[in-house]
Chains A and B, each alone.
Chain A
């Protein structure tokens, strides 16, 4: 059995992103013949001189008509080693929110650079967003190497320039691969045109990158999602707390503390329909029973007395605004953080961040669509949070507009 790797790609049509994904999918049998035929037919009907692989991912009528990717598309393929979920996102700045969405669950981000153009504003932006969303691995593909005669110096120059920039970001694992998506160099097969490159192909990198240790296995956090009470004769006194382990490990017999009440108990059993398990870890969905009768409901959190999340009504976060309607400091928003919901007010925008230059602008007092800034929030209930850097599940939240019910922002707690 193999594990899942989720990766996000960002780029525009010109970078050859669709060609690259098309090739990965085709070589790994992630594209089916009838899908390819449909794309070939449409390309022909539209008078395009080549099979436009972008049509594979641009699934919506509007995207096909305008020839652009507007939304995140999810694609799936598998090799004997791993199953892959691709979040394919548009690269243009006006779709920053889509990139942020795709990166939120990604183990790895794949950024494309055109070898002829070098490190552009947009490549820096993609790398920054990946680091902001805490994507643990960044793979930089220098594409179109065929158009620069497979020249090693071009690759090295781009690599050095990008590495200087990435030093300013929180990127822990950075890999560079020279490729030609069109010809397949170093995508699935090693390139004969670039004998100077000693590293792995892209597919091999995706198959081998070590992701198991990216999870937080230290801090036990179990947001209670739902209380299971069968209320029938067979399970008369049964009371189980269902949820998905956010981080850390929970074992039968462990001492646990319940937030916000502060009561402590021990784990009587960790259960599933397939039978009890001795331990539960992220991202398992289980049901935990305790040895004491304590009042626990959805939105509470199980943790350890000596390892608690920060509980506070005041939160500081980096926030990406995702709505056409700008942030309004007078409005109430709903916050969804783990399984907890509350009302919040945005008390202050500390600064806005230029996603291209990383310049901090302290004159900013609101955030508009696709803008990112550091904010102070106050919530009606205490939130049980860790910093996003330490914990992507207990550190992330969304804001929902109370009147429109739209998801308007995503936040990463500092």
Chain B
């Protein structure tokens, strides 16, 4: 007997500890569930943390209305299978109410608009903690964020005034109106996520694997043509075998050229890639050097 955990077992144990800690110390947690791979792994870990009891908190989806249909179908099926409660916050409601204004340019997407809907959904449901699937390897501002990240009454993150976080002790205290974002996957990398998906045999929406679809090349990005994205002047629609490395708003999430049709193919591909997943697939992160930090300060995921 070696009494050693391999890296996936160690990461799993750490994440389950964090999830249980939040639920044990906070009154009204919820889990942000987009149907993306990270939130799927989050949900899997949360079920493990409380087995054989049911999930002790609802799932929340902030819906831009510009979804990949495969992802919504997956979401609804999983919710039904595990008997979870799903709360959907619609970005369209905030657009209709005039709280946010949509940027109509191509690739603008509704990602940034989600912040208003997210904060409204948190307030309406009095959530005190939101579990998110963000990882520190994704982006440089996230690399500095705490596992339990404090948000003031406006939902703002203050990167210069973060609580020190030591050992496995997490400070979840806050006043009414303030809340905590909890990131149990902080120490996972994209490759860890995929290896875990393989090891645990976790099902994902089909668009994570190679499939053929009509696309256009837009700058360095490959954008799928669908009900939200139409070819611009001079863009040629081509059939291409692609897959998605991340799943977000359909207007600003790009595909990558890939023939990886199984989880093992994807692991091989991710292990060999030299481009980060956000760099390859997110038009919204290209806006500026500190795009993510600025969005997070406003209350983004």
Contacts and interface: CB of A to CB of B under 8 A. Distances in A.
A228 B53 CA distance: 7
**Prevailing SS type, chain B contact patch:** loop
B13 A283 contact: yes
Given A242-B49, A283-B10, A212 B4 contact: yes
Contact of A78 (B10, B139, B191): B191
Interface of A is mostly: mixed
B256 interface: no
Contacts of A242: 20, 49-50
A70 interface: yes
B166 interface: yes
A298 B24 contact: yes
A73 B143 contact: yes
Contacts of A191: none
Contacts of B276: 32, 34-35
Interface string A1-45: 111100000000000000000000000010011110010001000
B169 A273 contact: no
B54 interface: yes
Interface in A155-182: none
Contacts of B175: 405
A201 interface: no
Contact of B169 (A76, A98, A397): A397
Given A249-B3, A339-B24, A60 B293 contact: yes
A72 to B, nearest CB: 7
A272 B167 contact: no
B171 interface: yes
Contacts of B165: 101, 407
Contacts of A329: none
Interface stretch (B94-102, B156-164, B236-244): B156-164
B144 A396 contact: no
Contacts of A283: 5, 10, 13-14, 17
B292 to A, nearest CB: 9
Contact of A2 (B7, B17, B186): B7
A74 B275 CA distance: 19
A75 B14 contact: no
Contact of A101 (B23, B164, B289): B164
A290 interface: no
A398 B279 contact: no
B175 to A, nearest CB: 7
Given A34-B275, A61-B290, A336-B169, A285 B51 contact: no
B189 interface: yes
Interface string B19-60: 011011000000000000000000000011111111000000
Contact of B48 (A75, A231, A272): A272
A226 interface: yes
| Closest CB pairs A-B (n = 5) | A59-B140, A34-B279, A1-B6, A273-B51, A104-B166
7 contacts: A1-B6, A59-B141, A64-B290, A229-B53, A235-B52, A398-B166, A407-B163
